[in-house]
Structure 1
Amino acid sequence: MKLVRKNVDKTGEGSVTLVPEQPEDIWHAYNLIAEGDQVRGSTIRKVQNESSTGSSSSSRVRTTLTISVEAIDFDTQAQMLRVKGRNIEENQFVKMGAYHTIDLEMNRAFTLMKPEWDSIALERIEMACDVTQNADVAAVIMQDGLAHVCLITASMTLVRSKIDMTIPRKRKGFVQQHEKGLTKFYEAVMQGILRHVNFDVVKCILVASPGFVKDQFYEYMFQQAVKTDNKVLIENKSKFMLVHASSGFKHSLKEVLQDPAVIVKMSDTKAAGEVKALENFYTTLQLEPAKAFYGRKHILKAADAQAIETLLISDNLFRCYDVGLFEVFVDLVGSFRDSGCGVQLLSRVLVCLLRLAQFMGVVGLFLFSLLVFLGVCFGAAGGSDHSDFVIRLALFLGDIEERLFFSVICGFSVSV
């Protein structure tokens, strides 16, 4: 993302002009634009022309419009962003108040105006415009006849190429056809890597598959590289890493990113930091469940008691249209950072974070266990019966599911 102009005053009101330079920048634009904002950009409008004789004709003209945003449509597969709203500035082709949809495109500037720029939006602009945040990890998830070439950025996982071929089975009389099919498949995967992976930026290329598919492909690829004197592959051979995966489908990337060896290899990438942060939460939830909490209600109550050490929060929560709830989470993140606590803002599109949605998008690791937290919440004196605290908190939360959750974690029986 290229920042052309930034004009935001002390009150937070102002405008920013940006130029998306790659598909991920469209995703950042989607997260920046909200209903009620104003967007100015170049667009195409169909115009009806009437001649002096009464005949009419239509033509498509390019013009610049400013609209008040009412709807936002983002296609994750095609990486297209459409912003719909009413025209709010005089234009020779479009009447005031008329509806129009602006397609935000790569390498075409647009201006975003907000009545108030919050810290999360400004931080996202800084991150998007930082050239070091480009995709520095690539992954090839494959099985016989199926492969996905992916780029893993700090914000999302992009499937750049899908190779799907039918390979004849290896049986008597068809061995040669089977080998030809495999060779054709491996060649297509290799070309996908060469076409979509920028070796000047990417630090690690993961090749994952069940069985020996990855090993056979790796051997084929570098045999071909030597034969054709492909210096790009030969010079970057050390960046490739073979990893086990259960299948060649995209969801298998989740287990690949959790592999300890992969985390070590990716140790200097931001994507690895996000994976490690979430895995730390799951480990704590399993080994010390009284120190790992999730859900908006629980986290907000714990934040009031200053009981959270590390906060992991999905950026999808900042797209909620409940203004009050939006401001609560913006203030929460700001107060945590001001106090020096750890805050990890996680993208809902990064493949390993699909599980975070199960925890309502926000989780936290406590400084101390639940029993101490109960004492903070209810002002308990030392030596009091902790089971009473659990019951009181469960009743306070009210929800049957939450009562069961607390009773299981603490080992006490709570009537539901």
Structure 2
Amino acid sequence: MKLLHKNVDKDGKGIVSLMPEESEDIWHAYNLIAVGDNVRGSTIRKVQTESATGSSTSNRVRTTLTITVETIDFDTPACMLRLKGRNVEENQYVKMGAYHTLDLEVNRKFTLMKPEWDSVSLDRVEMACDPTQHADLGAVVMQEGLAHICLITASMTIVRAKIDQSIPRKRKGNVQQHEKGLQRYFESVMQGILRHINFDIVKCVLIASPGFVKDQFFEYMFNQAIKTDNKTLLENKGKFLLVHSSSGFKHSLREVLADPAVVAKMADTKAAGEVRTMEAFYTMLQVEPARAFYGYNHVMKAAEGQAIETLLISDNLFRCQDVVQRKKYVALVDSVKDSGGDVRIFSSLHVSGEQLDQLTGIAAILRFPMPELEDEENSDEGD
């Protein structure tokens, strides 16, 4: 994301102009824009003109509109953001108060005006515009006949392709059908990798499966690469990492990303940091439950006692349309930062973020035990 202009005063009022440079930036825009904000951007409007003879013609014109956002629709596969709202600035083609839709796309600048820029929004702008935040990872989770080819960016896990093929079972005296089916399946997965993974950007490609499927596939892929002299695969052989997973489904990525070998390979990615923090929370919950809590009330009480070492919070909570609710979570984040705690904002499009959302979207690892919170929890359950 490119920051073109920023003017935010001490009270938090102001405008920020941004240019999304890649699909990931549209996700950041989705997290920044809230219902009630004003967004100015370029759009195409169909205009009807009537001639002196009474005949009317319609043509499409490009114009710049400012709308007050009423609905936000994020198209994940296309990485496109559709904003709908009323026009709030004079325009020769669109009446004041008329509804219009703005599409935010890559390489199309937009200006965002908020009644109040809080610390979470400003941090999001800073993070989106920091090039060191982008460290991309490819992953193929597979089992016989099923594979998911995924791209793991700093903010989301995107399934680029799903390959589902039936492979005949091995039968006594007739293994050929099984072998042929397996080769067809491996060929489809290899083509999927070549089509969807850009090796210029991706630093590492994980191949995960139960048993020996990953090893068989890896061997097949590089035998084919040698036969066909596929330079893309041969030059990037060192980027592949074979790891174990329990299945070929997307949710297996969580255990894959927690593997120490994987963590070492992708230590600089945000996805790995989220997974490590989530693992630390679950470990603490088992080993020392008086130092791990989830749910707003318990976490808030721990924050009041300046006991939070790491706050885990889902970005879903900052997209709520209730301004009072959002302010509540922003105040919590600020108080944890002020007391020297670490704040991790989890992406709801990552497997670890989905996991956190199941735990109310908010959790904390404490510096010291607070058994009184545990007793409170038990008394609530008793009631």
Structure 1 length-normalised TM? 0.85
Q: Which amino acid is the alignment partner of residue 50 of structure 2?
A: E
- Taking the TM superposition and a 5 Å limit, the aligned residue runs for 1:88-99 are 88-99=88-99
Q: Tell me, yes or no, if the aligned pair for 1:135 and 1:151 is still in contact at 8 Å.
A: no
C-alpha distance in 2 between matches for 1:35 and 1:112? 12
Deviates more, 1:125-134 or 1:46-55: 46-55
C-alpha distance in 2 between matches for 1:309 and 1:177? 57
Task: Choose from 403, 407, 412 the match for 2:380.
Answer: 403
The aligned residue for residue 215 of structure 2 is 215
Query: How much has 1:402 moved relative to structure 2?
Result: 6.5
Query: How much has 1:302 moved relative to structure 2?
Result: 1.6
The aligned residue for residue 283 of structure 2 is 283
Deviates more, 1:211-220 or 1:167-176: 167-176
C-alpha distance in 1 between matches for 2:379 and 2:100? 46
Query: What is the SS of the residue equivalent to 1:91?
Result: coil
C-alpha distance in 2 between matches for 1:402 and 1:119? 35
Listed one character per residue, the Cα deviations across residues 263-292 of structure 1 (whole Å, up to 9, x for unaligned) are 233323221111000110001111111111
The aligned residue for residue 225 of structure 1 is 225
C-alpha distance in 2 between matches for 1:130 and 1:188? 36
Query: What is the SS of the residue equivalent to 1:90?
Result: coil
Q: Which amino acid is the alignment partner of residue 208 of structure 1?
A: A
Listed one character per residue, the Cα deviations across residues 362-402 of structure 1 (whole Å, up to 9, x for unaligned) are 1011222223x56xxxxxxxxxxxxxx93xx46xxxxxx86
**1:51 corresponds to 2:51:** yes
Q: Tell me, yes or no, if the aligned pair for 2:12 and 2:117 is still in contact at 8 Å.
A: yes
C-alpha distance in 1 between matches for 2:18 and 2:291? 42
Query: What is the SS of the residue equivalent to 1:58?
Result: strand
Deviates more, 1:96-105 or 1:321-330: 321-330
Query: How much has 1:175 moved relative to structure 2?
Result: 4.5
- Taking the TM superposition and a 5 Å limit, the aligned residue runs for 1:263-412 are 263-371=263-371, 373=372, 390=375, 393=376, 403-404=380-381
The aligned residue for residue 201 of structure 1 is 201
Higher CA-based Rg:
1
The aligned residue for residue 410 of structure 1 is none
C-alpha distance in 2 between matches for 1:204 and 1:254? 16
Q: Tell me, yes or no, if the aligned pair for 1:134 and 1:201 is still in contact at 8 Å.
A: no
Q: Which amino acid is the alignment partner of residue 47 of structure 1?
A: V
The aligned residue for residue 383 of structure 1 is none
C-alpha distance in 1 between matches for 2:180 and 2:15? 57
C-alpha distance in 2 between matches for 1:66 and 1:333? 31
Q: Tell me, yes or no, if the aligned pair for 2:258 and 2:272 is still in contact at 8 Å.
A: no
Deviates more, 1:157-166 or 1:94-103: 157-166
The aligned residue for residue 397 of structure 1 is none
Q: Tell me, yes or no, if the aligned pair for 2:314 and 2:361 is still in contact at 8 Å.
A: yes
C-alpha distance in 2 between matches for 1:52 and 1:183? 69
Query: How much has 1:174 moved relative to structure 2?
Result: 6.5
Listed one character per residue, the Cα deviations across residues 296-331 of structure 1 (whole Å, up to 9, x for unaligned) are 111112211212222111111111222222112212
C-alpha distance in 1 between matches for 2:57 and 2:94? 16
Q: Tell me, yes or no, if the aligned pair for 2:48 and 2:56 is still in contact at 8 Å.
A: yes
Question: Any gaps of 5 or more consecutive residues in structure 2?
Answer: none
Query: How much has 1:70 moved relative to structure 2?
Result: 1.1
Query: How much has 1:246 moved relative to structure 2?
Result: 2.4
C-alpha distance in 1 between matches for 2:125 and 2:184? 43
Aligned residues: percent identity?
Answer: 68
Q: Tell me, yes or no, if the aligned pair for 2:28 and 2:128 is still in contact at 8 Å.
A: yes
Alpha-carbon RMSD across the aligned residues, in angstroms, is 2.2
The aligned residue for residue 28 of structure 2 is 28
Q: Tell me, yes or no, if the aligned pair for 2:135 and 2:269 is still in contact at 8 Å.
A: no
Query: What is the SS of the residue equivalent to 1:274?
Result: helix
The aligned residue for residue 180 of structure 2 is 180
Deviates more, 1:295-304 or 1:227-236: 227-236
Query: What is the SS of the residue equivalent to 2:276?
Result: helix
Query: What is the SS of the residue equivalent to 1:73?
Result: strand
Q: Tell me, yes or no, if the aligned pair for 2:152 and 2:158 is still in contact at 8 Å.
A: yes
Q: 1:102 to 1:50 in 2, by over 3 A?
A: same
Query: How much has 1:294 moved relative to structure 2?
Result: 0.5
Query: What is the SS of the residue equivalent to 2:94?
Result: coil
Q: What is the number of residues matched between the two proteins?
A: 383
Structure 2 length-normalised TM? 0.92
Q: Tell me, yes or no, if the aligned pair for 2:254 and 2:275 is still in contact at 8 Å.
A: no
Q: Which amino acid is the alignment partner of residue 380 of structure 2?
A: R
C-alpha distance in 1 between matches for 2:345 and 2:198? 26
Query: How much has 1:358 moved relative to structure 2?
Result: 1.9
Q: Which amino acid is the alignment partner of residue 104 of structure 1?
A: L
Q: 1:201 to 1:298 in 2, by over 3 A?
A: same
Q: Tell me, yes or no, if the aligned pair for 2:14 and 2:115 is still in contact at 8 Å.
A: yes
Q: Which amino acid is the alignment partner of residue 93 of structure 1?
A: Y
Query: How much has 1:295 moved relative to structure 2?
Result: 0.3
Q: 1:51 to 1:169 in 2, by over 3 A?
A: farther
Query: What is the SS of the residue equivalent to 2:256?
Result: helix
Give the structure, 1 or 2, with the largest relative contact order (CA under 8 Å, sep 6 or more). 2
